[in-house]
Amino acid sequence: MSRFAAPISEAIWDMKYRFKASDGTPHDLTVEDSWRRVARALAVVEDDAAHWEDVFYRALEDFKYLPAGRITAGAGTGRKVTLFNCFVMGTIPDDMGGIFDALREAALTMQQGGGIGYDFSTIRPRGADVKGVGADASGPLSFMDVWDAMCRTIMSAGSRRGAMMATMRCDHPDIEDFIAAKADAARLRMFNLSVLVTDDFMEAVKSDGSWELQFDGKVYHTVQARDLWNRIMKATYDFAEPGVIFIDRINAANNLAYAETIAATNPCGEQPLPPYGACLLGSINLARLVYAPFEDGAHVCETALSELVTTAVRMMDNVVDASQFPLPEQAAEAKAKRRIGLGVTGLADALLMVGLRYGSDEAAAQTENWLRAIARAAYLASVDLAKEKGAFPLFDAEEYLASGTMQSMDDDVRDAVREHGIRNALLTSIAPTGTISLYAGNVSSGIEPVFAYSYTRKVLQRDGSRTEEEVVDYAVQLWREKFGDAPLPEYFVNAQTLAPLEHVKMQAAAQKWVDSSISKTINCPADISFEAFKDVYMEAWDTGCKGCTTYRPNDVTGSVLSVSENADKVPDESPAIASPEGGEVVYMSEPLDRPTELEGATYKLKWPDSNHAIYVTVNDIVLNGHRRPFEVFINSKNMEHFAWTVALTRMISAVFRRGGDVSFVVEELKAVFDPRGGAWMNGKYIPSILAAIGGVLEQHMVAIGFLEGEGMGLKADPRAQVVNLDSPKGPACPSCGQYDMRMVEGCMTCGSCGHSKCG
């Protein structure tokens, strides 16, 4: 029997985690092969590698422990990739040479797939004097634009998507421009933004005091703290950004406060890190650990949980030694502190299985208990590793035990740390698990509530026919297996039925026993008042959260498709998300075979200063009465272009043959800039040859009716076909075309294929 609980789980494994040769031939024939590959790769640093390989395999088996995607995809493949998920780069110097050295480091890190965070507060504000050159500074946002362009360029070269986080202190003179940056929908698309909010600022907000905006000891402006807070809130209300990070609270609670100062986080916020800080992630799948689900004695066995956590900590500690790093500074930082981020997924499903309503006081208490058990087991496991392998190099017992997190730790854990040291400076974090939760059987993601009980996913087959498969939440599927068509109990709730403050309650409960931070999205209804919206952030501050991220659907941010016509009621049947009709945006399970003949067009592209023209041929296929691009050929007599034109031909054609809303190819190509300069063509400035090719593809898509016009989306809008027509509609997934994009754990994520803005 297959280990996969649902067809989508096997599809995710095949697309994202299965080790394949460059020609697509699988090395991993089964998911068991993938588990064995990862177990062997992480056991290789052990003295008794064969023993630990078996122990690690049993932890991975049946999706009980889920290493983060980069570990599952990269460990044991021999590829030059990092197994670390999160990086915060070095402090950006306030000089031109240092700024561009930092840009180079960011590019190298992103090239290996790392998501990165930067604090731009160290760059002098716009208009400040630049000594020695008689000029005014352009300010941090101008350099953020450069970083944004770099990220687009790295992505256009075919590297794995790597998101970026930009932070700025609430007292920086340019903070108001930073807050308003996402009002321009085309600006800083590669960044998530968060404001570093200090304790003093929050006190000034509560007392309606004044607030000085300063840099390097010079006060530039004085504003009212509450006015500035309202600006942050209004931007977040309208554009879903910036997020808020309570930076003083993070530093006060940091186990390593004596050795580092934190000023930035990774892109989704769960890992506050120092300069060159790196962290790897993994999750305990609570949904797989519930005994007797939906019965009177349903529970998570703490002994089994402790044993799994102990193994997971050892595996993650080994990653520090087994992984490559983009930069030597990152390797040195990781090995000096051996930071790991063990978290959970499937929490909401586990709560359902033991009969608790997510967001209730009882569920919050149970969450706190489970997270406390995990923290205890993780810290004690790390102490045991310190006995065997030594404490992390920067360990100082008295300083470490005096940190905010360790002061609240149980006495027996503190005594063990004092006597034996500890292997890993920080151990717990709750990270985004959108894709790995699908891979594990569509369990609920991280500590998020269940988003939808079920939805329909349409898959286009090789012969052009379409099949439908139901994607069901893991807990709902178990309920069906036990009780058939019996109505779901009243305690079954989802993200659409929860009040925002119930989200905050769950985040605060989990944060008590997480030494890093938590990636969570607090879903707010579109019609929430601005005052009630602000209350969410103040409640997050008052209840001890380290940050807050919300999502309110609106015309600017796009809306998540409604999954129930009566969102305030628990339906008798699992509600379904309907997929759009039409051939344009349906994901193909396999690439279509090429017909013998195809219609198309050839376009001549003459790039200035080039001796030879480029010819772009686009051939189309007709599916269900709709014409769409199927393949591309790019040719030139200029041999300097040969390698990249062949590569581009193959990559674009492969994307076209997979289906979906492939108009994103145009968008990405048109965004590529050439550092040597672009050219003026037909009265427009084109930033690169690749951008010009993107323009040709767009021209063709408009001509065949696939696009409405230049810079516009699909001509035949399938959203008009979606059920629940009175509800706002969200954007299609750029990967598979399904209308199942949702804000999860601070990142827009597709529930159908796992595509995520954040990687």
Pairwise pLDDT comparison (746 vs 502), residue with the higher score: 502
pLDDT in tens, 17-47: 999 988 889 999 999 999 999 999 999 999 9
Query: Which of 86, 151, 170, 268 is the catalytic position?
Result: 268
pLDDT at 673: 73
Cα–Cα distance measured from residue 529 to residue 542, given in angstroms and rounded to the nearest whole number: 20
Residue that has been written with the tokens 């609430």 in this structure? 170
Cα–Cα distance measured from residue 364 to residue 371, given in angstroms and rounded to the nearest whole number: 11
CB atoms < 10 A from the CB of 483, how many? 12
Joined together, the tokens standing for residue 660 give: 């979906």
The predicted model gives 586-613 an average pLDDT of 74
* Distances, alpha carbon 715 to alpha carbons 460, 643, 663, 709, in Å: 20, 34, 11, 8
Model confidence at 563, in pLDDT bands (50, 70, 90)?
very low
Q: At a CB cut-off of 8 Å and minimum separation 6, what does 644 contact?
A: none
Pairwise pLDDT comparison (717 vs 362), residue with the higher score: 362
CB atoms < 10 A from the CB of 393, how many? 11
Cα–Cα distance measured from residue 248 to residue 671, given in angstroms and rounded to the nearest whole number: 38
Cα–Cα distance measured from residue 393 to residue 195, given in angstroms and rounded to the nearest whole number: 32
270 in catalytic set:
yes
pLDDT in tens, 141-182: 999 999 988 887 776 444 455 679 999 999 999 999 999 999
Pairwise pLDDT comparison (7 vs 609), residue with the higher score: 7
CB atoms < 10 A from the CB of 717, how many? 15
- Amino acid identity of residue 525, one-letter, is P
pLDDT at 309: 98
pLDDT at 731: 61
Lowest mean pLDDT among 45-49, 589-593, 603-607: 589-593
β-pairing verdict for 210-215 and 218-224: antiparallel
Three-class secondary structure assignment of 514-573: CCCCECCCEECCCCCCHHHHHHHHHHHHHCCCCEECEECCECCCECCCCCCCCCCCCCCC
The predicted model gives 315-337 an average pLDDT of 95
pLDDT in tens, 353-374: 999 999 999 999 999 999 999 9
Model confidence at 736, in pLDDT bands (50, 70, 90)?
low
Model confidence at 591, in pLDDT bands (50, 70, 90)?
low
pLDDT at 594: 75
Q: At a CB cut-off of 8 Å and minimum separation 6, what does 86 contact?
A: 114, 115, 117, 266, 267, 270, 271, 273, 277, 278, 279, 280, 281, 341
pLDDT at 571: 36
Model confidence at 129, in pLDDT bands (50, 70, 90)?
confident
- Amino acid identity of residue 479, one-letter, is W
pLDDT at 224: 98
Which residue, 166, 72, 159, is CA-closest to 116?
166
Joined together, the tokens standing for residue 124 give: 């002098």
640 in catalytic set:
no
The predicted model gives 463-489 an average pLDDT of 87
Which residue, 40, 17, 39, is CA-closest to 30?
17
Joined together, the tokens standing for residue 338 give: 């051996």
Model confidence at 217, in pLDDT bands (50, 70, 90)?
very high
Query: Which of 105, 260, 270, 698 is the catalytic position?
Result: 270
Helix, strand, or coil (residue 44): coil
- Whether cis (ω within 30° of 0) applies to the bond prior to 242 is yes
Cα–Cα distance measured from residue 34 to residue 76, given in angstroms and rounded to the nearest whole number: 9
pLDDT at 439: 94
Cα–Cα distance measured from residue 444 to residue 285, given in angstroms and rounded to the nearest whole number: 10
631 in catalytic set:
no
pLDDT at 722: 29
Model confidence at 739, in pLDDT bands (50, 70, 90)?
low
pLDDT at residue 609 tops 80: no
Residues facing 684 on adjacent strands: 681
To the nearest 10 degrees (0 to 180), the angle between helices 49-60 and 31-43 is: 140
The predicted model gives 732-740 an average pLDDT of 62
Residues, the chain: 759
pLDDT in tens, 499-558: 999 999 999 999 999 999 999 999 899 899 999 999 999 999 999 999 999 999 876 665
Lowest mean pLDDT among 8-22, 237-251, 600-614, 706-720: 706-720
Query: Which of 192, 251, 254, 266 is the catalytic position?
Result: 266
pLDDT in tens, 616-643: 999 988 876 678 888 899 888 777 777 8
